[in-house]
A and B are shown apart, each in its own frame.
Chain A
Amino acid sequence: AQTVTQSQPEMSVQEAETVTLSCTYDTSENNYYLFWYKQPPSRQMILVIRQEAYKQQNATENRFSVNFQKAAKSFSLKISDSQLGDTAMYFCAFNDMRFGAGTRLTVKP
């Protein structure tokens, strides 16, 4: 069974600074997808970024990028130039059905 671990229950960052959220996973599969989802307070979950395991290049979406280390089974999310609107729960997900416990990120003005 696949497991997804997020070891940081809560994090905070000053507006305009950079923060990295950690995620590790366990799987015996070779081809899979990894996702970061954002769930703002009282709002619905939306996709932040997606990585296909067979792609060596790290995915990037504007201020969001990942550091995907397949051998280490690590998939961290870097948020650059943090904005107040980035305040949310962030969930790492494996093949979109297994979620980590989440990291609550607060961006401080």
Chain B
Amino acid sequence: DAMVIQNPRYQVTQFGKPVTLSCSQTLNHNVMYWYQQKSSQAPKLLFHYYDKDFNNEADTPDNFQSRRPNTSFCFLDIRSPGLGDAAMYLCATSSPHQQETQYFGPGTRLLVL
């Protein structure tokens, strides 16, 4: 089945130690998104790619970076995680041809020690 896959599902890192979260999709969607979701809150958009065009939200900290080497994969890099970065990170995809509906992955829960 076509889907959005996130690895790992749980990630533990140390304060200040760089960490990378991965997302892959088999939907061949040209748009990919990264959201941060803290407990019982709305997902907050960090950035998105339209094909290779990177769109950063104005309030996304510089500590967060992203890479999209090809259509299928997208990575979230947190250069120096702080305690406040502990959250669920959601990856999603969409296509203008499917009326912009987003398909979400299961998320990666990040714990910062």
- Verify if B18 is at the interface (C-beta below 8 Å from A): no
Bound Cα distance A47, B92 (Å): 12
State how many angstroms separate the Cβ of A53 from the closest Cβ of chain B: 12
Question: Quick check: which of B21-29, B67-75, B76-84, B100-108 contacts chain A, the rest being far away?
Answer: B100-108
B31 smallest CB distance to A (angstroms): 9
For chain B, the bracket of interface size reads 20 to 34
What chain B residues lie within 8 Å of A46 (beta carbons)? 104
Pair B100/A95 contact, Cβ less than 8 Å? yes
CB distance from A42 to the nearest CB of B (A): 9
Query: Is B45 part of the contact surface with A, judged by Cβ < 8 Å?
Result: yes
Q: Any chain A CB within 8 A of the CB of B33?
A: yes
**Binary A-proximity of B1-16 (CB < 8 A = 1, otherwise 0):** 0000000000000000
Residues of B contacting A: mostly: loop
Known: A50-B101, A91-B42, A97-B33. A44 touches B48 (CB 8 A): no
A52 on the B face (CB < 8 A): yes
Whether A99 touches B100, Cβ cut-off 8 Å, given contacts A44-B106, A45-B90, is no
Inside 8 A of A37's CB, which chain B residues have their CB? 102
Q: How far is the CB of B103 from chain A (nearest CB, A)?
A: 8
Contact between chains at A99 and B43 (CB < 8 Å):
yes
Is A101's CB under 8 angstroms from B104's CB?
A: no
A97:B45 contact, CB within 8 angstroms: yes
Interface flags for B27-43 (1: CB within 8 Å of A; 0: not) read: 00000010000001111
- For A35, the chain B residues whose CB sits under 8 A away are 101-102
Q: Known: A33-B99, A95-B100, A96-B100. Contact between A102 and B41, CB under 8 A?
A: yes
CB closest residue in chain A, given B6: A44
Return A109 CB to nearest CB of chain B, in Å: 23
Chain A 67-109 interface residues, beta-carbon cutoff 8 Å to B? 89, 91, 95-102, 104
Interfacial residues, chain B to chain A (CB-CB below 8 A)? 33, 40-45, 48, 90, 92, 94, 99-107
Contacts A/B (CB < 8 Å), 30 sampled:
A33-B100, A44-B104, A44-B105, A44-B106, A44-B107, A45-B43, A45-B90, A45-B92, A45-B102, A46-B104, A47-B101, A47-B102, A47-B103, A50-B99, A50-B101, A91-B43, A95-B100, A96-B94, A96-B100, A96-B101, A96-B102, A97-B33, A97-B45, A98-B45, A99-B43, A99-B44, A100-B42, A101-B41, A101-B42, A102-B41
